[in-house]
Amino acid sequence: MSEELGPVRTEVSDGVLVITIDRPDARNAIDTVTAVAVGAAIDRLDADPSLVSGVITGANDTFCAGMDLKAFLAGEKPSIPGRGFAGIVEGPPEKPIIAAVEGYALAGGFEIALACDMIVAAENARFGLPEVKRGLVAAGGGLMRLPERVPYHLAMEWALTGAMISAEQAAAVHLVNRVTAPGGALAGALEIARAIAENGPLAVRATKQIIVESPAWTRAEMFDKQREISLPVRASEDAREGATAFKEKRAPRWTGR
């Protein structure tokens, strides 16, 4: 079943929430209404126990051209409290989310993709942080996340020149997980998202939390911090169900408890 939240469509498929930005006249650029709608979809992903993972994409063969500059000039601020620009860059979901990129993912659009846990890109995808070309700073997390994903000197070059990055270049430095034929990014992202959704939802959420938070842990505290997150999952009904299903050679029936 699909739903529309203004310029954003959502659809549930096998435990996966697909979020589609649909502003074809603006190349899916983000204005305030769109940011609020994306944020609402991310809230739903985190709150709904039947959803295990998510995918965010753009309609009409374009991912997102970034901030809507017309809205910006009109005084809009396309961000929301707690989640930031586009309803995602400062507060990504606690559950895994994958960007499915066709066409342009530029400026804030690239920052949306970088806020995701994985990226699947079509061969025609193009990434870039061209803000410096407009006298602006890429302040939606791109300058902080990009050096974590690609070599430092390459991140510097791309950010300071505002260069356009092809899917081939992105794949060469492992910025994207998979490259598909044009039109195939969403299917590729759904393949990964559904594989995640087959797993224990408590374990999936905790696994992402550990990967995201552990770089800030000291060596002395890291195993204690990990235990705080992992032990409640180990004691859950789902953990017992997983072991029982393995013993009985059947698919597990997760309850999220």
CB burial class (10 A; 0-12, 13-18, 19+) of residue 247?
Answer: exposed
Pairing, β 165-166 against β 126-128:
antiparallel
Q: How far is residue 160 from each of residues 84, 118, 132, 139, 176, measured CA to CA in Å?
A: 23, 24, 7, 13, 21
Instruction: Identify which of 116, 153, 159, 109 has the alpha carbon closest to the alpha carbon of residue 137.
Output: 159
Structure tokens at 63: 């991912």
Q: From the candidates 3, 11, 90, 131, which is the catalytic residue? A: 131
Cα distance from N-terminal residue to C-terminal residue, the chain: 25
Q: Which of 3, 76, 90, 111 is catalytic?
A: 111
Residue 83 gets which letter from DSSP?
Answer: T
In 3D, which of 94, 55, 87, 61 has the Cα closest to residue 205?
94
For the question of residue 90 being annotated catalytic, the response is: no
3 catalytic residue (yes or no): no
Question: Which positions are catalytic?
Answer: 111, 131
